[in-house]
Structure 1
Amino acid sequence: MTLALDEQRSQVSQARADAQRQLDAFGAHIADLQARLTRLDALGERVAELAELDSSEFDFSLNVGQGGPEDPLDAPAYQAPPFMDVLDSLTERLESREQQLEVLEQLLGERRISAAEHLAGRPVLQGYISSPFGVRTDPLTGRLSRHKGVDFAAKAGSDVLAVGAGVVTWSGRKTGYGNMVEISHADGYRTLYAHNKKNLVQVGDLVQRGQAIAEVGSSGRSTGAHVHFEVTRGGEVVNPALYIARSAAAE
């Protein structure tokens, strides 16, 4: 009898040890899943931000809404699979979702960077086109001449804005242009902002679209406060009108 009891006690102790090991493994899995879910929530919020989704529509802090009337199937009672197998399956699904969200975040980030590099908008917040691109009557000589850019009349001292992200390749005075800033962009584009009162950037500076790079002035060959805005691609002057017209869509 004593031997039988000792054997039973040993079996119970072994069963408890096995159960404890399974509980420890279960706890470790739960902690890992909680960390992954937290990371997924952060990724989801980041993706929603990058995609400019409505925060009230995609609120990752709320539980997922599910429900409906009960409509049981005429089938045998559900047999729960071993909980560790269920956790392993859930872990695999979470890993897959993490990878998908990471790829999506990268793609959206690249899309935003690409959009920022594209030229779009006006080089001033307030002002009007005082001289268009192309053949015009020169304002100082009265003769027909080719105008390589678009002039925006604006208040002296107001901000001159970059119309795309890029690197400053010129910041200084140039004959006829006065104080001038030139920015190199992607795909061989360059933009030029001339007759500035004061330049606010230096050669080598990285600038973003909408950043103030100078102050409106009338330096160089000019009749009044304005910005002379040029766009070149591959060294060839192009009409800035297309890029100015993009402003509504870009914003």
Structure 2
Amino acid sequence: MNIILLNSKRGHSRTFSLPRFLPLIALGVLVALPVLVGVGAYWVSYRVAPPSYTDAVAERFQANLRAQADEVVELKRLSEEQIRALTLKLADAQARLTRLDALGERLVDVAGIDSDEFDFGAELAVGGPEPAESSAFTPPSFMAELDALTNTLERREQQLNILEDLLADRHLENETFLAGRPIVQGWMSSRFGRRTDPFSGKLAWHEGVDFAGKDGSDIVATAAGVVTYAGKRSGYGRLVEINHGNGISTRYGHAKDVLVKVGDIVRTGDVVARMGSSGRSTGPHVHYEVLKNGRQVNPHPYIYRARR
């Protein structure tokens, strides 16, 4: 290879001859130099800078893996314990539901209610259109059992609440049902209606029924109600008056002692007074009246009818 140099001032040229292998040497230098620089930089960084992966890093990574594995085992143990506890609670709830059904059926039988109206063994009648999202998530069978049990308990609760209301109404109706005599021991000494007045000897209208008996014997309420009068009243002596609702009231006159006060709630058969001869009376007895909408009516139909 020849190199020619030209001199513009003097107007002559000069030629230099180069060896033929010189371009190959230059090319080799240009290729080898970057490789050598890269290898040198790698060697320096490896010797001077600490390596990114060491035995300590590996040990720390393995320790994290072991801790995570222990946490998974503990979570599995806790989950199994919770599932066992839920299973026991589910079994207990099912047993309680069985007893609740038996109680409901017994109450229906005792109350004399049509079993078709309160069938504790039948499924709850429900329905509705299919949801738009038919691909909804389906819970596991255990959760489905819990949901079914919850729905059944809610249905039983509704049925028993309604049954309780019906029984309470029936019990209240039975308690306020007027029937029987206002005494425990004694006899009827004067009937309702026209009679000869024991003081004047003239015909008079008797607005109640008299029951004679032993002085101080019990006078009882013939139905449940609220005491609206308890004290002395002209002609009656010591009087107890009870409001039974639905426009029905009863009066118990000529008592020796009054055992209740206004506002007291009494039940059927409660002792409200002691038999005496207070007021316009010829001897120990109770003057018994039945009032309907404020007017005296014949007590005989109430006295002789059977109690519910």
TM-score by length of 1: 0.72
Paired residue secondary structure (2:268): coil
Q: Distance in 1 between matches of 2:218 and 2:108?
A: 28
What do residues 83-123 of structure 1 show as CA deviations (whole Å, max 9, x unaligned)?
Answer: 43234323322321222122212211221022212222210
Q: Are the aligned partners of 1:29 and 1:87 in contact in 2 as well (CA < 8 Å)? A: no
* 4+ aligned runs moved over 6 Å, structure 1: 13-16
Offset of residue 182 of structure 1: 0.9
Instruction: Mark the runs of 5 or more structure 2 residues left unpaired by the alignment.
Output: 1-64, 112-139
Q: Distance in 2 between matches of 1:18 and 1:234?
A: 75
| Cα separation, 2, equivalents of 1:42 and 1:219 | 55
1:172 equivalent in alignment to 2:231: yes
1:201 counterpart = 2:260: yes
Matches within 5 A, 1:1-251: 17=75, 21=79, 24-25=82-83, 27-28=85-86, 30-31=88-89, 34=92, 37-38=95-96, 41=99, 45=103, 48=106, 82-246=141-305, 248-250=306-308
Which whole-Å CA distance do the structure 2 matches of 1:219 and 1:49 have between them?
A: 47
1:129-159 CA-partner distances (Å, limit 9, x unpaired): 1111111122222221101011111111110
Deviations 1:209-235 (A, max 9, x none): 111010001111112111100011111
Q: AA paired with 2:177?
A: H
Q: Deviations over 1:19-76 (max 9, x none)?
A: 86376256336426635754874796598579757xxxxxxxxxxxxxxxxxxxxxxx
Runs of 5+ unmatched residues, structure 1: 1-6, 54-80
Partner of 1:218, secondary structure, is coil
Shift of 1:18: 6.4
Which amino acid is the alignment partner of residue 82 of structure 2?
D
Q: Could you tell me how far 1:177 is from its partner in structure 2?
A: 1.0
* Structure 1 pair 28–187 and aligned structure 2 pair: CA distance change class (3 A): same
- Structure 1 counterpart SS, 2:158: helix
Q: 2: distance between equivalents of 1:153 and 1:229?
A: 11
- Residue pair 1:136, 1:144 contacting (<8 A) in 2 also: yes
Displacement of 1:126 after TM fit? 1.4
Distance 1:50 1:230, change over 3 A: farther
Query: Could you tell me how far apart the structure 2 residues matched to 1:148 and 1:121 are?
Result: 18
Cα separation, 2, equivalents of 1:151 and 1:119 = 17
8 A Cα contact 1:170 1:180, kept in partner: yes
SS at match of 1:185: strand
Aligned residues: 216
Larger gyration radius, structure 1 or structure 2 = 2
The structure whose RCO (Cα within 8 Å, separation 6+) is larger is: 1
Closer, same or farther in 2 for the Cα pair 1:190/1:51, shift >3 Å?
A: farther
Q: Are the aligned partners of 1:33 and 1:91 in contact in 2 as well (CA < 8 Å)?
A: no
SS in 1 for 2:262: coil
Cα pair distance change 1:33/1:187, threshold 3 Å: farther
Normalised to the residue count of structure 2, the TM-score between the two structures is: 0.60
* 1:40–1:221 Cα change, 3 Å: farther
